Every structure is written in C-alpha cells, then in structure tokens.
C-alpha cells in the first residue's frame, strides 16, 4: 500500500535536481584546450593562508585512497547518476598541510590551463569531496580532467576542477573563472543556483 502514496527514494525525480535531464553518456565540458599533463610531471601546490608546499604524484598515491559513487550535475542541465571515482579525500589531504582554519573563508582551486573556481570553505570541507584520479576503474582520461581533478558532488560540476594543480586559501571571496562570467557564486543544484544575473 505504501507504494501507492510514496515514491521509492531511488526514483529518478528524487535524484535529479529540478531543471536537469539525465544522460547515459558522459559529456565533456571544457572551456578551452585540454592540457596534457603526465603523472610524473604533475605537481600540486598550496599557498595563501596555508604554508606553501608542493606535492608530487607519488605523494598523493601514498595518501589513503577511497572510492566514491556520486551524481554529477552540470549547470547546462545534464546530470549523470552514479559516476564511480577513486581518489583522495580532501579532508585527508588537509591533514598533510598547515593551514589557517580561522582566517580561511574561501578556497580557490587552480588548474593547468589556468581555469579557476572558488568555493566557501564549508563547501570545500564536505566529507565526500575528493581529488579523483580513477574513473570507472580506469586512469582518469585527460578530457575528464586527468591526471587529477577535484570532485565536489553537492555543487554544480563547474566546481569540480579538472587538471587541478593547486589550492589557494583566501580570507574573503574571490571569484573563479565561471563565477566571474555569470555563473552563480555558490552553485547548489537543488535550489537551482545557476546564474548570477
């Protein structure tokens, strides 16, 4: 009888935010060229309100590796459910650096190819956020952000910076690439924080 009145929580409309449609493929959404970065050449830096430190690929491989299955929502209205990733939790990574958790209010992700995206600290500190380097069991393809990308599943996917190579810890909001170009400052899919016009 229950089924008559309630939708199962797994039914698509409970999973797909308003204004989104499902896609089975995995579209590639890149502004500009796809940088080519070998794992051996990949470097990752932290700076700003963090003690400057540079990491190598091996440094990241030596950190705990976790699996993540998450839905992926692009502001241009496609969503892909249950994408499977492997990577390093942002929260585990943060244990390896010295950063000012009192003064830091925003984090700017920097990428090869100069893309940037910012987010409030509390969005960056979400338990599920990872640096991903495996997609569906395979090394993350360059067009999807390989060798390493950020994943912030609870916000629109422009926050999930591909080819990430650094984090800047900042004391007040500065806008990243799309945030300067009309996208919403935060980007929550369930409340359709799409554009800031």
Ligand X SMILES: Nc1nc2c(c(=O)[nH]1)N[C@H]1C(S)=C(S)[C@@H](COP(=O)(O)O)O[C@H]1N2
Residues that bind ligand X (CB under 6 A): 26-31, 74, 111, 113, 115, 144-145, 157-158, 160-163
**The token pair that represents 171 in the structure block:** 């004391």
Q: How far apart are CA 87 and CA 166, in angstroms?
A: 16
Q: Which does 55 bind (CB under 5 to 8 A by kind): ligand X, Mo ion, none?
A: none
What is the rounded end-to-end Cα distance, in angstroms, of the chain? 46
Tell me: does residue 178 bind Mo ion (CB under 5 A).
no
Q: Which does 90 bind (CB under 5 to 8 A by kind): ligand X, Mo ion, none?
A: none
Determine the length of the chain.
197
Contact 178, 95 (CB under 8 A): no
Query: Least distance from C-beta 184 to Mo ion, angstroms?
Result: 12
Q: Which does 163 bind (CB under 5 to 8 A by kind): ligand X, Mo ion, none?
A: ligand X
Handedness of CA 178, 171, 192, 92 (dihedral sign): positive
Is the Cβ of residue 104 or residue 160 nearer to ligand X in the bound state? 160
The torsion angles phi and psi of 180, rounded to 5 degrees, stand at: -80, -20
Q: How far apart are CA 29 and CA 156, in angstroms?
A: 12
Query: Least distance from C-beta 31 to ligand X, angstroms?
Result: 4
Query: Least distance from C-beta 157 to Mo ion, angstroms?
Result: 5
Instruction: Please give the residue whose beta carbon sits closest to ligand X in the complex.
Output: 115
Is the Cβ of residue 47 or residue 78 nearer to Mo ion in the bound state? 78
Question: Where do contacts with Mo ion occur on this chain (CB under 5 A)?
Answer: 29, 74, 157-158
């Amino acid at each position: 009888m229950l089924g008559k009145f309630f939708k199962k929580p797994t039914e698509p409309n409970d999973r797909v935010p308003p204004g989104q449609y499902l896609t089975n493929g995995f579209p590639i959404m890149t502004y500009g060229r796809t940088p080519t970065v070998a794992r051996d050449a990949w470097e990752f830096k932290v700076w700003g309100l963090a003690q400057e430190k540079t990491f190598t690929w091996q440094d990241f491989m030596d950190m705990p590796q976790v699996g993540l299955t998450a839905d992926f929502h692009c502001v241009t209205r496609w969503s892909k459910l249950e994408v499977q990733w492997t990577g390093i939790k942002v929260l585990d990574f943060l244990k390896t650096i010295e950063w000012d958790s009192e003064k830091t209010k925003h984090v700017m992700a920097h990428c090869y190819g100069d893309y940037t995206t910012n987010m409030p600290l509390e969005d960056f500190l979400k338990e599920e956020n990872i640096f991903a380097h495996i997609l569906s069991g395979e090394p993350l393809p360059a067009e999807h952000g390989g060798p390493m990308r950020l994943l912030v599943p609870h916000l629109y996917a422009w926050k999930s910076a591909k080819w990430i190579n650094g984090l800047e810890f900042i004391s007040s909001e500065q806008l990243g690439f799309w945030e300067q170009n009309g996208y919403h400052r935060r980007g929550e899919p369930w409340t359709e924080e799409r554009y800031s016009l």
